[in-house]
Structure formats: structure tokens, C-alpha cells
Amino acid sequence: MAVTKKPVTRKLQAHADEVRARLAAEYPDASSALRHRNALELLVATILSAQCTDVRVNEVTKSLFRKHPSAKDYAEVPLEELEEDIRPTGFYRNKAKSIKAACRKIVERHGGDVPRTMDELTALDGVGRKTANVILGNAFGVSDGIVVDTHVRRLSQRLGLTAQDDPDKIERDLMNLIPRDGWTMIAHRLIHHGRRVCVARKPNCGDCVLSDLCPSSSV
């Protein structure tokens, strides 16, 4: 996603900087909740995480990753067998098709290695921009964008960092406010804060380190 630096008011930039600093202090070691040892495992886990909790995904991938250590293994496993292995994550038929097809392309086009660019990743089945950002940032240390999941979307709106509702537009607004070297961590920290404090239905504003900055705070 090409981002043209747009003019930002000093007040908004100062607000974003303070939000970022406080979240960094609160969650210095924030990281992906999906357990993985390499890019392939993260790709598979992220596909499985759609409409499923990270806890459930981690339970399933304990045995799945041992059974299928390479992209070739996923490409060649019978579809019905893979479906059964990932059934607890829900939507297992579509997920199994995506994983097999993506891994087939990884084998055929990339020699069995998960590609390292946005365009190559999003050309894989089941991999959209959000998933590609997860893989690039966490497996390869490449800052090409910001992961916008439901937590990042909700918190960036509540905190007044964006007035947009479309994930791509939210991502552009955040990329315009956050330095590139902070793109991966701001997503992790917003997600952690969204799960622990700023929950969807009833945010715990009384225990929020951002309550005095947040235009949505009830405190």
C-alpha cells in the first residue's frame, strides 16, 4: 500500500505519539498470540484464526505443525484429512482448501519457502493484506503496513486516531501517524489493550492508561 504522507495537525500527531508511548510502556513485550516457529507456521495459524480464538488455534496447531512441517506436506495431504485435523477451528472446509492451495503455490512458485513481499503473499489463497502484514512483520521483520483486525479498528476509532471504518483507510491513517519502525508493535499493543481493557461491549475505562487521552472514555 503506497502511503503519501498527508498533513497532520500538531495536536493529532502529539496525541498519537502519546498513545504510542503509553502503550509501549504498558505492553513492552507484546507479540503475536499465535504460537509459531517460522513463517509457514504463522501463515497457517493466521488462516486458521479467522472467526476462531487464538487459544483454539494454538490447541489445533500443536499436533498440526508436527504432522506437516513443510509446505509440501500441506500441498500433498488429502483434503479430507486436513479438514478433519483443523475442524475445531470452524469453517474448516474453506480453510483447508486455502491452506492446501496456498502451500501448493509456495512449493511451485517459491521453492517451498514462504515469500517475503506483499504482492507475492497476497497472491496466495486465503492471504489478504491483514494476513500478509502479520507474516511480514512477525516472521520477517518487514514493515510494509499495519495489521488492522477488529481490535485495532475499534481502538483506533475510539482513540480518535481515525474517523474511517474501512480497514484499508484505517491502515493508511495509522501509517500516516506512526513511524514505520513502530508499525508492527502498535498493532500488537492495540490488540493486547483491546483484549484486556478496551473490550468491545464494556470497556474498562477506569483501569485504562489512556483514559485521560481518549475521547470515548467514560471516566
Domains and CATH numbers, the chain: 10-29+147-207 (1.10.1670.10), 39-139 (1.10.340.30)
Residues involved in catalysis: 130, 149
Tell whether the torsion through CA atoms of 139, 141, 144 and 147 is positive or negative: positive
* pLDDT at residue 219, rounded to an integer: 81
* pLDDT at residue 6, rounded to an integer: 67
Report pTM.
0.92
For the beta carbon of residue 10, count every other beta carbon within 10 angstroms: 7
* pLDDT at residue 7, rounded to an integer: 80
Q: Which amino acid does the sequence have at 132? A: A
List per-block mean pLDDT (blocks of 10 residues) for the chain, which spans 219 residues: 72 98 98 97 98 97 98 98 98 98 98 98 97 97 96 98 97 98 98 96 96 93
Phi, psi of 49 (to 5 degrees): -75, -10
Q: Closest Cα to residue 124, out of 141, 108, 139?
A: 108
DSSP 3-state assignment of 149?
coil
At residue 38's C-alpha, the angle toward residues 49 and 155, to 5°, is 40
At residue 31's C-alpha, the angle toward residues 25 and 37, to 5°, is 150
Helix (H) or strand (E) run with residue 46 in it: helix 39-48
Q: Closest Cα to residue 118, out of 152, 142, 149?
A: 142
* pLDDT at residue 4, rounded to an integer: 58
Q: Closest Cα to residue 105, out of 119, 91, 94?
A: 119
- Residues 89 and 119: their CA atoms lie apart, in Å, by 27
- Residues 170 and 165: their CA atoms lie apart, in Å, by 7
